[in-house]
Amino acid sequence: MDKIKLDIAGLSYSQTQSGAYALVLAESGGKRQLPIIIGGFEAQAIAIELEKMTPTRPLTHDLFKHFAQAFSIGVKEIVIYNLIEGIFYSKIICEREGQVTEIDARTSDAIAIGVRFNCPIFTFENILSIAGILMDENQTKDDDFSMDDDDESIQPEGSLNSLNLEELENQLNDAINDEDYELASRIRDEINKRTS
């Protein structure tokens, strides 16, 4: 099974879950994005490294990096290999003296470590086909989203089960346009539940 490379497209604050963030991974050279809900601590750890900030004391993921380097362990890649009941499963692929070891990890921790080692992130087609969101080809990251009083607003999570598939698809497009990837992932999950 061929791996698909992912790039970090961004982090956005969750508007409905206090302290949660959506980590958005984009298919390298493709149009699909994979939103993953992560905690605030992991989001901060990823953002600090992406912005090349240096905390006054090492964070947990920095400690892991220093520990690994002290014992000549390199991190080669991060692989998101499974999705079960909305939970992504990942592995950290490490190498030491030619020996490769796979370590199971939460996806948020794996990516926080991966960015510190500047290593690639991969997934598989089956994960992207189930959980990926196809971005509109005319859409850019900086597209503005505005709503007039006459526009329908995005439905709250509790009312998703009252919508038909066509309405869910419309809500999904609205959530993507609004860059509300957390809501988009919940709508995607509802659509997948009905069509699987």
51, 73, 75, 108, 126 from 93: Cα distances, Å: 24, 10, 6, 15, 20
Q: Does this model's pTM top 0.85?
A: no
- How many CA atoms lie less than 13 Å away from 158 in the CB half-sphere? 1
Read off the CATH number of the domain in which 25 is found: 3.10.690.10
pLDDT of residue 157: 42
In tens, the pLDDT along 104-162 reads 999 999 999 999 999 999 999 999 999 988 876 544 443 332 223 332 333 334 467 77
Q: Locate tokens 């490490």: which residue?
A: 94
User: Is residue 112 located within the same domain as residue 191?
Assistant: no
Give the sign of the dihedral formed by CA 178, CA 180, CA 185, CA 187.
Answer: negative
| Cα-trace Rg, the chain | 18
CB 20, CB 182: distance < 8 Å: yes
Q: What is the pLDDT of residues 26-63, one digit of tens each?
A: 999 999 999 999 988 898 899 889 888 888 888 899 99
Residue-wise pLDDT for 160-179, tens only, equals 777 788 888 888 877 777 76
- Would the pLDDT of 16 be above 90? no
Same domain, 120 and 30: yes
Mark 164-174 as b/e (b = at least 16 C-beta within 10 Å): eeeebebbbbb
pLDDT band at 187 (very low <50, low <70, confident <90, very high): confident
How is residue 161 annotated by DSSP?
Answer: G
Q: Which of 80, 107, 131 is the last residue of a domain?
A: 131
Q: Tell me: the pLDDT tens digits for 59-92?
A: 899 999 999 999 999 999 999 999 998 899 999 9
- Count of other CB atoms within 10 angstroms of residue 160: 18
User: Is 138 inside a domain boundary?
Assistant: no
Instruction: Go through the chain and tell me how many residues it has.
Output: 196
Domain holding 160, by residue range, is: 144-195
> How many Å apart are CA 190 and CA 127, to the nearest integer?
16
What integer pLDDT is reported at residue 119 of this predicted model? Answer: 97
Whether residues 127 and 152 share a domain: the answer is no
Same domain for 67 and 88?
Answer: yes
Better-predicted residue by pLDDT, 193 or 99: 99
Beta-carbon neighbour count of residue 183 at 10 Å? 25
Q: What is the pLDDT of residue 1?
A: 75
Same-domain check for residues 123 and 168: no
Q: Bigger pLDDT: 145 or 97?
A: 97
pLDDT at 181: 67
- For residue 35, list its beta bridge partners: 24
In a domain, 78, yes or no: yes
Last residue within a domain, chosen from 131, 162, 181: 131
Question: In terms of C-beta distances under 8 Å and separation of at least 24 residues, what long-range contacts does 138-141 make, across chains too?
Answer: 139/176, 139/177, 141/9, 141/10, 141/179
Residues 9 and 58 in one domain: yes
Same domain, yes or no: 114 and 154: no
